[in-house]
Structure 1
Amino acid sequence: MKRILSLLLASALLLAGCAPMTVGGSDPAKNGRQEVQQTSYALARPVYPDFPAYPEEPQGDDADWDAYFDAYSQYIKDLETVQGQGLTEEHWAALNAFAAKSTPLVLEGHAGENTVYSPLSLWSALAMLAQCADGDSRQQVLEAMGADSVDALQKQVPQIWRGLYTDDGRSSLILANSIWLSDAAQGSYVQDTLDVLAQKHFASVWSVPMGTDQADQAVTDWVAEQTNGLIGGEGPVVQTKAETLALLASSLYYKAAWQDEFLPQLTEEDIFTTADGQESRVDFMHQTEDANFIRRDGYQAAQLSTQLGEMVFVLPDEGVAPESLLSEPDFLARLEFYGDAATWGEVQWSVPKFDVDSDLDLKGALSALGVADLMDPDKADLTALTDLDAFLSEVKQLARVKVDEEGVEAAAVTIMTINCTSAMPEPDPEICVMDLDRPFLFIIRTQDVPLFVGIVNQV
C-alpha cells in the first residue's frame, strides 16, 4: 500500500523565466501557445527574444559528434547572450527566502486537499504591485518581498527573468506579466508607471471594458496563451466588475522531460491511500536508480532530474501530515542532496501519474506577510498607478501540475484585482452627427416592421 506522497512543488516551481521586451524576436503564439484573439484590446505587448535551439544528438554508427559538439558550443554562446549573467547568488537567496516565508502561509488550512503554489508567480505579481503602490502601502509590499526599494526591483526583475527564461525547443520556462486597465477610466492612470511595468517587468498592457464577458474572456485567453492551455481552457479565470480599475496578472509555464524517462511498460496500477484511509487505484510509474537521498525524522526525500532542473518528492513518515513539515522555517532550504546531509544509495521509484490543480485565495497569506493597507479601502495608496481612490480587492492563484512517464508540465497564474472605492468616472459620450446634407436612406417602421424604405438623392 502506497503512503501519501507530499508533492512539495514550491522549489520546483521556482524555476521560471520571461522574455525581455525587445525589438524583433519571436511571437509567443508561434511557440505553441494559443494567441489572444482580442488583439484590439492590446496597448503594448512584449516580444520574446529568439532563443537558441538545443542541438539534437546524432544517432547511429556514422554519427558526426564533432559537428554536434560545435553546435553545442555555439548553443552555449547564444544562451549567454539571451540569459546574461544568469541567476546570481543574491537572486537565488531572495527567491528562496520568499518561498520559505510564504509557502506555509499559503498552503495552511488545506489539509487533505490537492494544493499547488508558485512562489515565483506571487513574487512577480508583488513586484508589479509595489510599482503601483506608494507610501506605507508600497513599503509593506517591499518588506514582504524582502526588497529594498522599487529601484532595486527594477534592476533585479529583468536580471532574474533573463537568467531563467528558456524556450529551446525541448524545454520551456516562461514567465509573463500583464496589466489590464478599464477603458472607462482612461486618463486616470499614471503613464510613467505603465511604462516601467512594460519596460522593466515586461508586462503587456491592455484596455478592456471591465464588467463584461468580453473583458473576462480576453484575460482568460491571455492566461491560456501563456500557460499553453493548462489554465484557462475550462471557463473564465476571472470575473471583472464595472468598478474594477485594473488587474495585475503574472503567469508561469514550465515544461521539461525527465533526464531518464520512465518506461511505459513498467507502469502498473496500484493503490493510493489518502490521509483519511480512502483508497483509489491509479497508475504508478516505476524506475530504479543510484542517487543521493535524504532521510530525516519525519520524512525521506529524493529528486528526479529533468532537462531543466529537478523535481523533489518528499514522503512523510506514516502519520505525519505533509503540512506539518512546512512549519519548519528552513524546510525547503534543507532539501539539499549533497554533502553530509545526503545518503548515496539505490532509489526505487514508484510515482503515481497525476494531474492536480488548485485555486487559492491569497489575501490571508498576504495579510500574514504584512501586506494589509492595500486591502483596506481607507488606507490603500495606489497613487503611483491612478489618481482615483482604489484598493486591492482580490488576490488569487490558479495552478496546475501534470506528471507522466515523459516528464513534467506545470503552470500558474497570480491575479490581483484592483477596484475603485469611489464611483468610476462616466466615459465621455460618443457623438453621432446626423447632418443629412447629402443623399441618404430612410426606413419607416412600426413594431420593427419596415413600412417604407426609400432613398433621397435630391431635396
Structure 2
Amino acid sequence: MNAQTLKKIGILMTAGLVLLGLWGCFRPTTPGAIASSPILTATDTPVNPQLTDAQTRFSFKLWQHLLAQQKKENILISPSSVAIALTMTYNGASGDTQTAMHDALELQGMSLSEVNQAYANLKQRLEQSDPSVQLKLANSLWGRNDINFKPDFLQQTQAYYDANLRSLDFTDPATPKHINHWVSKQTQGKIPQIVDQVNPNDLLFLINATYFKGNWQNEFNPNLTQNRPFHLPNGQEKQHPMMFQTGSYDYLETEQFQAIRLPYGEGRFSLYIFLPQADHNLSQFYSQLNSTTWQTWLGQFAQQDGSITLPRFQLEYGVELKPVLSALGMDIAFSDNADFSGISDSSAKIDRVKHKTFIEVNEKGTEAAAVTSVGIVATSIRPPSNPFEMVVDRPFFYAIYDRETQTPLFLGSMVNPAI
C-alpha cells in the first residue's frame, strides 16, 4: 500500500490477533455431540476491578519480557487480545497447568467463574464505544472433527466469550483458508493470514481478533504535514511525513520524558505518546515502565496549551509468544506434562501462540485490526511551560488505552516509522 493510498484512507487502524494452537500428544477420542447452552449476557455493571488490575499487570509484564528480546525493533502488541485467547484456554486447564496459567495471567484471588464473568462484562463495555470509534472483539474455536471436546468447556467459551466451535477436517489442505478467511473478515482485511498450515496432530485453534478504528477528536490538517527528519537510534536521520497541530491537551513532562494524550471521538479511547527527553533514550524509559508507574503517570496528566508534531506511520508486526509466556511461568502448558483435560480426553499441550498486529496512524485518526517494582517511583514533574512544544522526531513508546475500563488495548515501540 503506497503513501498516496494511505492518505486517501484517512484513518488510523489497529488490529490485533492471537492464534493459540493445541497439539494432541496421543490418539484422538471418538467424536461426540456438542452441548448447546444459552449465551450468558453481560450486564451493565462495572468491570471487575480485580480483572482491571490483572490486565494491567499482565500487559506490562508481557511487554517487558518481549522488549528484552527485541529492543531495537518496532514492536506492537495487543495484551488484551493475548489475555483473552489465553483465558479461553485456561477454561480447559487443570492441576499444575491451571495454576501456572492463573499466575502468568496475574489472576490473583479470582475464581474461574469470576474471571469469565468479568471478561464477558469487559467485552460488552469495550464494544459500547462512541460513534467515532469502532471496537470489535471476536473469538472463535476451530477444532478437529474427530475429537470429542468437553461440553462444559464449549459451554463456557460460548457463553462468556461468544466463541463457537467450528469442526474441520484437519487433513484437508483447504482448512487454513477457512480459518484465515474468518481472520481477514474480523480485522477488515488488515490481517489476512494467521495460519500457515494445519498439522495432523493439531487438535484445536483458539483465536481472538481485536479491531479498533477511531477518528481523532481533533484531526490533523493534512496541509500542515511535511517531511522532517526522524532521528534513528544509530544516529542516522530519515526524512518522514510529520503531522502538526496546536491546541489544549492532557500533557505530562518530567526530567525523563514528555507525554501527551490524543483522544478519539468523545474521549474515552486515546493514543498516549511517551517521548524520552533529548538527553535520555527508550531503554532508560523502559527501565521505569511497569504497571505501577503507568497508573501513576496517568494520574499526573494535566491540561496545557501546546503543539504536537507526530510522525504518520503504518506497521505490521508478528511474533511467536511461546518463549515469552514460558518465561512468565507457563512453561508446563507447552510441555508433555500439560493438563488440558477440561478440553478433551486427548492428552494435549499448547504448541504455538502466534500474535499479529497492524496499525496505521495518520491525520484522520487511527485504525487497528490488543508486581510492583520496589524503588521505582514517578520522577519529578517539571513546572508547566506555556505553551509546550512536543516534537516526536526520535524513538517513542505509544499505547491505545480505554479510560473507562482502564484497559491497555495496544502497546507499541516505534523505533523507525519509515519501515
* Residues 141, 236 of structure 1: alpha-carbon distance in 2 compared, 3 angstrom cutoff: closer
**Offset, 1:90:** 3.7
* Residues 213, 288 of structure 1: alpha-carbon distance in 2 compared, 3 angstrom cutoff: farther
- Name the structure 1 match of 2:101: 141
- Name the structure 1 match of 2:140: 178
**Offset, 1:388:** 1.0
**Offset, 1:13:** 8.2
**Offset, 1:274:** 1.5
* Residues 130, 403 of structure 1: alpha-carbon distance in 2 compared, 3 angstrom cutoff: same
- Name the structure 2 match of 1:64: none
2:223 maps to a residue whose letter is: Q
Give the structure-2-normalised TM-score: 0.73
- Name the structure 1 match of 2:363: 405
- Name the structure 2 match of 1:370: 329
**Where does the alignment leave 5 or more consecutive residues of structure 2 unmatched?**
1-12, 18-33, 371-408, 411-419
Q: Map 1:28-177; keep pairs closer than 5 Å.
A: 84-147=44-107, 148-166=110-128, 170-177=132-139
- Name the structure 2 match of 1:255: 213
Give the structure-1-normalised TM-score: 0.67
Equivalent pairs counted in the alignment come to: 338
- Name the structure 2 match of 1:194: 154
1:132 maps to a residue whose letter is: G
- Name the structure 1 match of 2:239: 281
**Where does the alignment leave 5 or more consecutive residues of structure 1 unmatched?**
1-11, 17-42, 49-80, 415-459
2:332 and 2:338 in contact (8 A); partners too: yes
- Name the structure 2 match of 1:354: 313
1:84 maps to a residue whose letter is: D
Question: CA offsets per residue over residues 41-83 of structure 1, 9 Å max, x none?
Answer: xx999999xxxxxxxxxxxxxxxxxxxxxxxxxxxxxxxx987
1:44 and 1:204 in contact (8 A); partners too: no
* Residues 47, 222 of structure 1: alpha-carbon distance in 2 compared, 3 angstrom cutoff: farther
1:85 and 1:163 in contact (8 A); partners too: no
**Offset, 1:324:** 4.1
Max Rg structure: 1
Question: CA offsets per residue over residues 133-163 of structure 1, 9 Å max, x none?
Answer: 1111011111122222322212211111112
2:97 and 2:330 in contact (8 A); partners too: yes
Indicate whether 1:334 and 2:296 are aligned: yes
1:369 maps to a residue whose letter is: L
Q: Distance in 1 between matches of 2:338 and 2:261?
A: 43
Q: Distance in 1 between matches of 2:15 and 2:123?
A: 11
Q: Map 1:431-442; keep pairs closer than 5 Å.
A: none
2:224 and 2:244 in contact (8 A); partners too: yes
- Name the structure 1 match of 2:28: none
| Aligned with residue 304 of structure 1, among 262, 269, 280 | 262
1:208 and 1:215 in contact (8 A); partners too: yes
| Aligned with residue 290 of structure 1, among 237, 248, 251 | 248
- Name the structure 1 match of 2:343: 385
* Residues 82, 153 of structure 1: alpha-carbon distance in 2 compared, 3 angstrom cutoff: closer
Identity of aligned residues (%): 25
* Residues 136, 82 of structure 1: alpha-carbon distance in 2 compared, 3 angstrom cutoff: closer
- Name the structure 1 match of 2:165: 205
SS of equivalent residue, structure 2 residue 297: coil
1:108 and 1:323 in contact (8 A); partners too: no
1:46 and 1:204 in contact (8 A); partners too: no
SS of equivalent residue, structure 1 residue 108: helix
1:155 maps to a residue whose letter is: Q
Question: CA offsets per residue over residues 397-431 of structure 1, 9 Å max, x none?
Answer: 101111111101112599xxxxxxxxxxxxxxxxx
* Residues 229, 271 of structure 1: alpha-carbon distance in 2 compared, 3 angstrom cutoff: same
Q: Distance in 2 between matches of 1:130 and 1:117?
A: 20
* Residues 253, 44 of structure 1: alpha-carbon distance in 2 compared, 3 angstrom cutoff: farther
1:13 and 1:118 in contact (8 A); partners too: no
- Name the structure 2 match of 1:75: none
1:15 and 1:164 in contact (8 A); partners too: no
- Structure 1, 300-309 or 90-99: larger mean CA deviation: 90-99
* Residues 229, 157 of structure 1: alpha-carbon distance in 2 compared, 3 angstrom cutoff: same
